[in-house]
Amino acid sequence: MTGLFTGDERKDLERRMKAANRLPPGQAATLKWPVLHYGSVPKFDPATWDFKIFGLVAPPVRLTWAEFGKLPRTTTTSDFHCVTRWSRFDNHWEGVAFRDVLNLVRLLPRAAYVLVHAEQGYTANVPLMDLDRDGVLFATHHDAQPLTPEHGYPLRLIVPHLYGWKSVKWARGIEFLDGDQAGFWERNGYHMRGDPWKEQRFDTD
């Protein structure tokens, strides 16, 4: 899909996705790839970049960029639903499955939630059961091209069945917890889980 399209093409896509039960309530289809994030785009230095797995794990793990690049690769196709009411369909992702990252550590029995850490102190909370499933991955490529800096290069978590703010850009680590701890947007009025099919946009939903 490209950003070169007519209004009729977008409306046709929206009709088809509704008919296929792929468009959540309150959403509109787009063929573009909008850029939305809080703060500035961070710079990437492969010599200093690392990824940490910590919290309720034994033992904690730290990976360099070179080490992360040696993990098994996977590809997946999924839809993306932004809380700002647009949905983009059939995104092709390439990266490392969350389950392959999870296999690097032993979880303690009470680990049930994850706080995803990213550049500039950004965090987002996701229940472990929402991450330990098919289609969830740490992406390095989108639609056969490396992620652009604006879309989370070098590493972006993709959680396709939740609203897009849970698909954290510029991911730098995952912390395992025994309780649900609000991340950045959750502390600022967003829903703790963010299921687009239930329209869990805000903490009042």
**pLDDT tens digits, the chain, 205 residues: what are they?**
444 456 789 999 999 999 999 999 999 999 988 887 777 899 999 999 999 999 999 999 999 999 999 999 999 999 999 999 999 999 999 999 999 999 999 999 999 999 999 999 999 999 999 999 999 999 999 999 999 999 999 999 999 999 999 999 999 999 999 999 999 999 999 999 999 999 999 999 8
- Is 2 inside any structural domain? no
Q: Is residue 93 part of a domain?
A: yes
DSSP 71: S
Dihedral pair phi/psi, residue 179, rounded to 5°: -140, 160
The dihedrals phi and psi of 176, each to the nearest 5 degrees, come to -90, 130
End-to-end CA distance of the chain: 32
Question: What are the DSSP E strand ranges found in 82-136?
Answer: 86-97, 106-107, 113-118, 123-127
89 belongs to a structural domain: yes
Contact 185, 152 (CB under 8 A): no
In a domain, 1, yes or no: no
The Cβ of residue 157 has, within 10 Å, a number of other Cβ atoms equal to 25
Reading the block at residue 68, the tokens are: 């992360």
Q: Name the pTM for this structure.
A: 0.93
Which pLDDT does position 38 carry in this prediction? 75
* Secondary structure (DSSP) of 176-190: EESS----HHHHTTB
CATH assignment of the domain containing 179:
3.90.420.10
Domain coverage including residue 63: 7-198
Indicate whether 124 belongs to any domain.
yes
Q: Is residue 203 part of a domain?
A: no
The total domain count for the chain is 1
Report if residue 205 sits inside a domain: no
Task: Encode pLDDT of 155-185 as tens digits.
Answer: 999 999 999 999 999 999 999 999 999 999 9
168 domain residue, yes or no: yes
